[in-house]
Amino acid sequence: MEATSYGPKLSALVGLLGSAFPLSFSKTQALLDQLLGVEISCGTIATIRQALSAALEQPINQAIAFARQQPVDYVVDEVLRAAVETGAPTGNADGGNPDGKRGWQWVMVTAMVTVFMQGLSRSTAAAIDLLGDAFGGIVVSDRFSVYNYFPLEQRQLCWAHVIRDLTAIAERQVASGEIGAELLALQQQLFAQWHRYKDGTIDWPTLQQACGPSKISHGVLSRQGAICRSRLLTVTITLRQQGRNTWDFLEQAWITHHRGGVMPSLLPDP
């Protein structure tokens, strides 16, 4: 049975407006009214997005399994935000966060699939939940201690973080400023050689020889709302990477979930 009387195309649009064009419930409501003449309550918008979240469970699980098998994963952890984690308030409207913990949005980025996962901690256990306990590739991250459970040979520090730190050192007025400036110069030489390799000017052994001396968020009212957003973001960003239409995917996922058929996949074509 379908969750509302609204059809799959409009339901997919409601999901799209909460991910690719991250509008609040009230702004989504106003846009649908003013542009399409569709009157819809904020409660119905929430119901539609939760139904989409349920419909996306299978393709999301496939995407997670695929990402964990890739040779390199960028990881980010955002307090509620390639691994990356980012934080934001997460309410208890559904009873899933009785202690009022701050929510963390973890992001795992690969060449063809990006996975968002919602959690209530920024711990090693949360990182393992994202990457799995048998990840054998390279993790690109910042220096946050939760990633220390990986062997050094499986870790690559995010260069954006490294350059930021070297720049801060170089801006000091004491002797360490000179050291920071020298390190920044080495970083620029390294990147120059890398770009030469990427444009075909030099080959891999030459690159190795040259380099020898010298890795978005608003608060939500409930855990389920955070999970819903994570799933919609996973779909939106992954399909953007692959050059596929997000609206069409969400519409097909909605139809399949409610009426049967083959669930679309987030995995790239072989």
What does the pLDDT look like over 92-138, one tens digit per residue?
666 667 777 777 888 898 989 999 988 778 888 888 888 998 888 89
Looking at the predicted structure, is the pLDDT value of residue 85 above 60? Answer: no
Q: Considering the domain boundaries, does residue 51 fall inside one?
A: yes
Residue range(s) defining the domain that contains residue 68: 8-158+220-259
36 shares its domain with 165: no
In a domain, 268, yes or no: no
Regarding whether 109 and 234 lie in a shared domain, the answer is: yes
The reported pLDDT for the residue numbered 81 is: 33
For residues 139 and 103, state if they share a domain: yes
Asked if residue 117 and residue 33 are part of one domain, the reply reads yes
For residue 5, with 0-12 CB atoms within 10 Å meaning exposed, 13-18 middle and 19 or more buried, which class applies?
exposed
Residue 54 forms part of a structural domain: yes
172: in domain:
yes
Query: Do residues 99 and 58 share a domain?
Result: yes
255 assigned to some structural domain: yes
Asked if residue 204 and residue 132 are part of one domain, the reply reads no
Q: Of the ranges 179-188, 205-214, 253-262, which one carries the lowest mean pLDDT score?
A: 205-214
pLDDT of amino acid 103: 78
Cα-based distances in Å from 70 to 41, 62, 111, 136:
42, 13, 9, 9
Give how many domains the chain has, as a whole number.
2
